[in-house]
A = this chain, B = another copy of it.
Amino acid sequence: MLKKSFPLSKVYSLLEPGPVVMVTTSRKGQPNIMTMSWHTMMDFEPPIIGCVISNGDYTFESLKKSKECVINIPTVELAKKVVGVGNTSGRSVEKFKKFDLTPVAASYVSAPLISECYANLECKVIDTRLVNQYNFFILEVIKAWISPAKKPQKTIHHLGKGAFMVAGRKIKLPSKMK
């Protein structure tokens, strides 16, 4: 899926609702993917994201070394693959192949975008102070991409143990909030 550039100033609107994401990294030229739900926006612009990546995950070492990743946002159509990715380890599985996902070269980082995801955020690690104690990485989004598709994008939100809430209807209220 060809993506178009997405304004960095609007990245928060993609992550603030709390979707499950897939994080891609690269290690000695081999790409890997993990599933992640523990993330938060930390600033609007440049967009800063905080996220927890367990030190048991293969991605942990890759991210620590390369200091780069892509956050890919899947929709409900990919739910089975999202769970598959979350239930396997890059130590023993080539996940792009196994789950029939398409890596696309990023513009600024070594990790690939996942073509099938509707949005992709190229990120650099900017702060590792809380990595040792909490496995908490702080990322800056340096480039964002979005699918030009106009249909509603139904993200999935993890409730635990393979149960997900699928994004529902939208409501709009008068608000001064960003």
Most chain B beta-carbon contacts within 10 A, residue among A10, A87, A158: A158
- Give the copy number: 2
Chain A: number of interface residues, binned into ranges: 35 or more
Interface residue A171 (Cβ < 8 Å from any Cβ of B): yes
Closest to A177 in B: B86
Interface residue A42 (Cβ < 8 Å from any Cβ of B): yes
- B residues in contact with A83, CB < 8 Å: 173-175, 177
Closest to A88 in B: B176
Q: How far is the CB of A31 from chain B (nearest CB, A)?
A: 21
Instruction: Find out whether the CB atom of A79 lies under 8 angstroms from the CB atom of B157.
Output: no
Interface residue A129 (Cβ < 8 Å from any Cβ of B): yes
Chain A residues proximal to chain B, CB less than 8 Å: 10, 12-13, 16-19, 35, 37-43, 48, 50-52, 76, 79-80, 83, 86-87, 129-130, 134, 136, 138, 154, 156-178
Q: A-B pairs with the 4 shortest C-beta distances?
A: A18-B18, A168-B168, A162-B175, A17-B157
